[in-house]
Amino acid sequence: MSSAREPIASVKLAAEMVIGGRGVAALSGETFPTLNPATGRTLAQIPKGDGADVDAAVKAARKAFDEGPWPRMKPAERKGLLLRYAVLVEEHSQELAQLEALEAGKPISDCRAIDLPETVNILRWHAEAADKIYDQLSPSGSAVVSMIVREPIGVVGAVLPWNYPLMVAALKVGPCLASGNTMVLKPAEQTSLSTIRLCELAAEAGLPEGVVNVVTGFGETVGKAIGLHGQIDCVGFTGSTDVGRLFLKYSAQSNLKRILLECGGKSPMIVMDDAEDLAAVAAHATFAAFCNMGENCTANARLLVHRNIKDALLAQIVDKTDQWIVGDPLDEATRVGALIERDHMGKVLGHIHDALNAGAQLVRGGRQVREDSGGYFVEPTIFDRVSPAIRLSREEVFGPVLGITTFDSLEEVITLANDTDYGLQASVFTGSRKTAHYIARAVRAGTVAVNCYSEGDIATPFGGYKISGFVGREKSLAAHDQYCELKTIWNDMS
């Protein structure tokens, strides 16, 4: 069995930024450490980029867009290169999965079975869409030929999160590149290695120099420089609402670049008293709360369950939670890996402490575990009797913590579900199709899953209401639209 304490020999841990198709150090020569959250030890030194490095990357991306072949290729030609890219990522999926597990603390089994196959699927799907999206003619009369055409928006900055580094990168890279844009990516400082490798593979696949660039560093320097840069036409950001608000400010302070935000959630799972197969509901509930250590923007951390079945469902959930083994991320048996960093673990434990003080009943878990590893592990935690007024009900914990609140009526649960500033995802379990439809329409969330926990698939738009999002939608053809401009070409033929 591999140990998370030592790097895996087949994985490249040396890191350079990628600008203009070449690996480079930061112009300042500075670096910072990236840590293995399962041990607290340094994995590699990452270039510490700043505004000067962003300028260099934008210059390369701008040249590739303004002068290079990429936006001028036939869509079918771009498709061919992007499909080659997807094949190359698939061929390196074991390496990339190991990088994700080492740097993000994610269970290697999840990286291999979920993250990497989905990353490849996203790239392939958007590549195939490149030559299947049509422009339009308007019904403006026989004396006019009025064309409505889609054009790539230009240089796109993508600011990525640490919870799903490769999948979220693919969600932005796929539609951006398929539409003919060029890009500057900024990975989260905690998870740079897999994004760097993803960009290296783009060059190996034959994408022209400057089409995909990556600048590593911190949000207050690299992220801010991307947000304020006058030669970047659009920024796609996935992360916290507080940082998302900053990008709206940066846009207003610079060139009014388009800003696309996906900013997390506090997603409810609603279980009616006519829900069928409580064992299956419990399996969905534990997956929705504990998958990826709860570091998931759509985590169903609020379980709203009808009072009549709460005790029966809770017993099933406690039983299912025993299957969520906390351990070394490189152990195939592990289902709950390490939280991303010590400060974040402290935040999660703080939420648990506050919930106890607020009168919630601790049913299971609640502790840091595996302390002798040096890593940041918190066991799956379940609270019952959670008031909708306390922090645990209202703030995004981003850890393996499930809070249970009971209700007595349909009207009450809809009020509870919508009593949040967020609106990203919701799940509803009921044996009545009428009730399911009513709740799905009444809950204000970008995705509502019925009798399952799901975010949809690559063909369905993903994004949120309220402070969960701003303008943007990941996945589907809607993702292509947001990285394009619409142009009217009016030909008077009279």
Best CA proximity match to 172, nearest among 163, 185, 190: 185
Catalytic-role residue among 189, 200, 262, 379: 262
Residue 23 · residue 110 · CB < 8 Å: no
The C-alpha angle 456, 460, 463, rounded to 5 degrees, equals: 85
Catalytic-role residue among 199, 234, 297, 484: 297
Torsion, Cα 123 243 448 122, to 10 degrees, reads 0
Establish whether 199 is a catalytic residue. Answer: no
Best CA proximity match to 33, nearest among 224, 190, 200, 215: 190
Strands (E), 272-360: 302-306
The maximal CA–CA distance of the chain, rounded, in angstroms, is 81
Establish whether 262 is a catalytic residue. Answer: yes
Residue 430 · residue 274 · CB < 8 Å: yes
213 vs 57: CA distance, rounded Å: 6
Residue 444 · residue 463 · CB < 8 Å: no
67 vs 65: CA distance, rounded Å: 6
| Ramachandran category for residue 471: left, alpha or beta (phi over 0 → left; psi -120 to 50 → alpha) | left
Other beta carbons within 10 angstroms of residue 435's beta carbon come to 16
The sign one gets for the Cα dihedral 287, 437, 393, 243 is positive
Q: Which residues are catalytic?
A: 262, 297
